[in-house]
Structure 1
Amino acid sequence: MSEPGRFILVPTPIGNMGDITLRAIEVLKEANRIACEDTRHSSPLLAKLGISGKPLVSLHDHNEARRLPELVEAARAGETIAVVTDAGMPAVSDPGYRVVQACIEQGIPFEVLPGPSAVLTALVGSGFPVHAFRFLGFLPIKKGRRLNILEDSLSTEGTSIFFESPHRLLSTLELLAGKHPEAPCCVARELTKKFETYHRGTAAELFAHFKAHAPKGEIVFLIAGDAKKRREPEDD
């Protein structure tokens, strides 16, 4: 019987192709197969890295549960399977969570490589408190639930981080500005790409800006929490 293989979750660049790590490249070159959120999206990156002829298999939200048993069996047979998503860290608002759960439950070895993350990049670049923060994924579509979460973020210590659609950002800012115009916010756009921008200001200021300049690209939206609960980082 072959020795068990393993899964390796490999972060990929969130924009700038130069941000992939040497270790990630090594894993992608040596893996027996690569599970991709979208093979069409991952193929150009692999080609740029000089990786060709590698078996690619799609692994996304709609087929992850169905395809996972096949990949688990391949790992049991000794294969090393690299898992990548379209950008950033697998499993963070992306496929990959079920992979980790299956590995834990079934005793399959797995590794998680460090690498690019829109969440941490936006947090540091925002200038908002980093001693305490939380990532809450995509904001809800329904306005009532969205406003509840936004208001909760204002009363919570530290920084709250969200992914937001450029088509809905203006609505989100309008909701927040209508109730809390002075709320400190940051809109981080197109991180690591040519047109990367950080827009910092109150909810009212950012609403006015994006009402005049329609937002485009991939967006991370941040809110600084209750100033009374903030504290400066302690010295080591």
Structure 2
Amino acid sequence: MPLTSPRLWVVATPLGNPDDLSPRAREILQAADLILAEDTRRAAALCARCGIHGRRFLSFYDHNEAERQEEVLRLLREGRTLALISDAGTPLLADPGYRLVRACRKEGLPVSPVPGPSAPVAALSAAGIAPLPYTFLGFLPRDAAGRENLLAAFAHAPGSLIFFERKDRLKESLILAARILGARDLAVCRELTKTHEEFILGRLDSNGGISPELPIPLLGEITVIIGPPEQVERTPREEVAQLARLELARGGKPREVARRVQSAARGWSGKEIYALLRDAGDSAEQ
């Protein structure tokens, strides 16, 4: 396929080491009429480091993707060659671009990938945690309730879980993950492909802790891998229901009661515990 063929190219860019930009990606970025980038200054700096000169950039990020979409589609209809990049790694994976690619597909406008660096894949390839199957969760939600709901929804998913997290929320999120997911292998991967690349291997324990204790704060971009569920004997429903009744009688806020029940049971998600508490509360009122 000619590199100048009019289309939207979805181009993977380096996570940190500029030498990871593929020759094909470099050629496409040089040939593109316009480069769509989350941060045009970072994109220009990357191109300069890689010897790509004289390019035009258009900012394209989460908060302007919707308003920029029609302009981009118009350029593609006119036969322009556009390249979509993110700040680092493969676009669309936790980065903007999905709505644009979907709109292109609906209109029959050609879209082609230029594969390359991807933080989830890079982390998984070198962490030593079971790679298949795996579920990529993107960035964890900012609020604690959102993080709890997301982790609970995937508590029983087979395989490993991979997500991005900010350094200032990392410890809190891992303690929450330990409480919800139970004992599992853990890898905290930071600064992938960069000078200070580091893989911190440890464990989430069934008591809601992390071992070894993480050095805080951890600097740089962080990718977390939590290993697959370990085979545990699930506490019988009757025992958990009895626990629910006892803990309800002790009192406390619903979340505190649910946490006490879940810490005493094995193999039960937060959603299941809340359902049991609701049933136990309904029974007590009758």
TM-score by length of 2: 0.73
Q: Which has the larger radius of gyration?
A: 2
Q: Which residue, 223, 228, 231 being the options, matches 1:225?
A: 228
Q: Which residue, 213, 218, 221 being the options, matches 1:215?
A: 218
Q: Relative to structure 2, which stretch is displaced further, 51-60 or 16-25?
A: 51-60
The answer as to whether partners of 2:189 and 2:198 remain within 8 angstroms in 1 is yes
Mark the CA change 1:147 to 1:208 in structure 2 (over 3 Å): closer, same or farther: farther
Larger relative CO (CA 8 A, sep 6+): 1 or 2?
1
Equivalent residue pairs, number: 225
The answer as to whether partners of 2:34 and 2:83 remain within 8 angstroms in 1 is yes
Q: Relative to structure 2, which stretch is displaced further, 142-151 or 7-16?
A: 142-151
What SS does structure 1 have at the residue aligned with 2:213? helix
Look up the equivalent residue of 2:148 and give its one-letter code. L
Per-residue deviation, residues 10-65 of structure 1 (Å, max 9, x unmatched):
11001111111011001011111111111011111111122222111111111111
Residue 88 of structure 2 corresponds to residue 105 of structure 1? no
RMSD of the alignment, in Å? 2.1
Structure 2 counterpart of 1:233: none
**C-alpha deviation, 1:102, in angstroms:** 1.2
**C-alpha deviation, 1:227, in angstroms:** 3.1
Look up the equivalent residue of 2:165 and give its one-letter code. E
C-alpha distance in 2 between matches for 1:213 and 1:46: 34
C-alpha distance in 2 between matches for 1:147 and 1:208: 23
C-alpha distance in 1 between matches for 2:152 and 2:228: 9
Q: Relative to structure 2, which stretch is displaced further, 37-46 or 198-207?
A: 198-207
Q: Where does the alignment leave 5 or more consecutive residues of structure 1 unmatched?
A: 230-236
Look up the equivalent residue of 2:66 and give its one-letter code. A
Q: Where does the alignment leave 5 or more consecutive residues of structure 2 unmatched?
A: 233-286
Look up the equivalent residue of 1:182 and give its one-letter code. A
Structure 2 counterpart of 1:187: 188
Q: Relative to structure 2, which stretch is displaced further, 4-13 or 30-39?
A: 4-13
**C-alpha deviation, 1:179, in angstroms:** 6.1
**C-alpha deviation, 1:6, in angstroms:** 0.9
What SS does structure 2 have at the residue aligned with 1:227? coil
C-alpha distance in 2 between matches for 1:213 and 1:65: 37
Structure 2 counterpart of 1:175: 176
Structure 2 counterparts to residues 44-59 of structure 1, below 5 A: 44-59=45-60
**C-alpha deviation, 1:144, in angstroms:** 3.8
